[in-house]
Structure formats: C-alpha cells, structure tokens
C-alpha cells in the first residue's frame, strides 16, 4: 500500500483521511520528526488557500531536512463560514473555537443559520504542489448535539443529510458522505489515481 504523509496535530482530521483513503489503497500516516508532530507557523491571511500554501512550503522544508523530499505529504486548512456573520469565523475558526467555543457561536447568530465549511488541501507530490478544495453547505444547529467528531461538528448540520443530524451525531464514515474534507480528499484521490498507488 502506498503511503501518504499528513502533517497535522489534529487526530480527528487524521482519522477522517485514514477512514476515507485506506480502503482506496492509500495508507495515511501522521508526519513526525523524532516521534513528535513538528510545529509550523500559520500565517495571518484572509484566504484559506494562502494558509495551506504557506503550511506546505514549511512542510516541504521539513521533509527536505529529513532527506525525504520524494515522499508525498499533505497539509490542510479548514474554516467554518457563517452567512449571517459575514463569513466569520472563517480563517479565524481555530481562534474562535479556543475563545468563544461552540456556545459562543450559538449565542452570536439569529434566524439565518446558513453556513458552510471549506477545506483546502495542499499536496506535495514529491515533485510539485497541487491544491484541492471541498465545500459542505449546511445550517448551524439550535443547540450543541452529539459526541462524535471534533471542533464545530456538534453545531453543524449538513444540508444533504435527510435526518438533520449534526456531524457529531454521525460516525466518521457517515460524516465522510457529506463533508468538505472528504470532498477535497476525493479530488486528491482522483489525482493520485492518475499514477496509481
Ligand atoms: P484548522 O485551522 O484547519 O486546523 O481548523 C480550524 C478550526 O476548525 C479548528 O479549531 C478545527 O477544530 C475546526 N475544524 C476543522 N475541520 C473541522 C471539521 O471537519 N468539523 C468541525 N470543525 C472543524
């Protein structure tokens, strides 16, 4: 099975990539140096693609420092964009979760509950960088629900789910039917298939 390195400190993101890509023949392993996930700097930018590109540039330098430049490696950046808040928290999603949390987000919004997740994946193929995106439209729930997943999952209901569940009320496999991340990962998989694992 071919191996794909994923530079992330988020075990939820890693698990979702593994659940989606491993049945398709790609082993996804967390990129580590000396048994820990290396720190990379997230730049301040109003654009998720710029953030992902800045992350992959640093990740490729780390690969080079390990003499592993020919290995494929991915990074990703995700944001939750709430319509009634003019796209907030967006690129500030991580900061918003750490400060106001899901309770704070629920307090900020009113009747218009439309929102979407956007994921940008930057892949170092071993030779060049490719970018993949995935979007999931949905609604912010009236209350926090469910125990699965991570981040904003307990307050986000994807429009495509007939059962009106938050992501946190789904298994990882069920979330991957609808999620922004799985859409980006599927595009990445289609790209990788051109050469085969
Ligand atoms: P990051 O900067 O890409 O790590 O993500 C920004 C914030 O969004 C983090 O606090 C994550 O927990 C959250 N987040 C990322 N992906 C998801 C998701 O699929 N569901 C819910 N929250 C997410």
Specify if 186 maps to a domain.
yes
| Ranges assigned E (strand) in 89-128 | 89-90, 114-124
DSSP 38: P
Residue 76, pLDDT score: 97
- Determine the average pLDDT of the residues in 82-97: 96
Which of 37, 74, 150 has the most ligand 1 atoms within 8 A of CB, as the residue to mutate? Answer: 150
Q: Which domain holds residue 73?
A: 2-192
CATH, residue 62:
3.90.950.10
- Determine the average pLDDT of the residues in 62-71: 96
What is the per-residue pLDDT across 153-193, written as a single tens digit (0 to 9) for each?
Answer: 999 999 999 999 999 999 999 999 999 999 999 999 999 98
Ligand 1: residue whose CA is nearest its atom 5:
78
Q: What is the mean pLDDT of the chain?
A: 96
**Phi, psi (degrees; rounded to nearest 5) at 2:** -70, 155
Calculate how far, in angstroms, residue 185's C-alpha sits from the geometric centre of ligand 1: 15
Q: Is the CB of 165 under 6 A from ligand 1?
A: no
Specify if 122 maps to a domain.
yes
User: If residue 30 lies in a helix (H) or strand (E), which one and from where to where?
Assistant: strand 26-30
Residue 16, pLDDT score: 97
Q: Say how many domains are in the chain.
A: 1
Residue 96 has pLDDT above 70, yes or no: yes
Calculate how far, in angstroms, residue 90's C-alpha sits from the geometric centre of ligand 1: 10
Structure tokens at 77: 């950046």
Do residues 13 and 173 make contact, with C-beta atoms less than 8 angstroms apart? no
Specify if 197 maps to a domain.
no
Residue 195 has pLDDT above 80, yes or no: no
Residue 196 has pLDDT above 60, yes or no: no
Specify if 120 maps to a domain.
yes
Ligand 1: residue whose CA is nearest its atom 14:
151
Specify if 61 maps to a domain.
yes
Residue 182 CA: distances (Å) to CA of 20, 29, 35, 95: 7, 17, 27, 23
**Phi, psi (degrees; rounded to nearest 5) at 158:** -70, 140
Q: The pTM is what?
A: 0.96
Radius of gyration (Cα) for the chain, nearest Å? 17
Specify if 162 maps to a domain.
yes
């Amino acid at each position: 099975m071919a191996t794909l390195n994923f530079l992330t400190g988020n075990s939820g993101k890693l698990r979702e990539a593994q659940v989606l890509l491993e049945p398709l023949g790609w082993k996804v392993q967390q990129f580590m140096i000396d048994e820990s996930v290396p720190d990379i700097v997230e730049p301040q930018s109003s654009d998720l693609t710029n953030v992902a590109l800045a992350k992959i540039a640093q990740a490729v330098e780390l690969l080079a420092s390990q003499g592993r430049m020919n290995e494929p490696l991915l990074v990703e950046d995700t944001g939750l964009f709430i319509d009634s808040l003019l796209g907030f928290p967006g690129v500030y999603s991580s900061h918003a979760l750490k400060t106001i949390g899901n309770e704070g987000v629920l307090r900020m919004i009113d009747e218009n509950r439309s929102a979407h997740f956007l994921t940008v994946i930057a892949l170092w193929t071993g030779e060049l960088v490719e970018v993949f995106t995935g979007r999931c439209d949905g609604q912010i729930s009236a209350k926090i629900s469910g125990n699965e997943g991570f981040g904003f999952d307990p307050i986000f209901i994807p429009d495509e789910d007939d059962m009106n569940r938050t992501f946190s009320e789904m298994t990882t496999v069920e979330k991957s039917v609808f999620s922004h991340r799985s859409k980006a990962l599927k595009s990445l998989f289609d790209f990788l298939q051109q050469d085969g694992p």
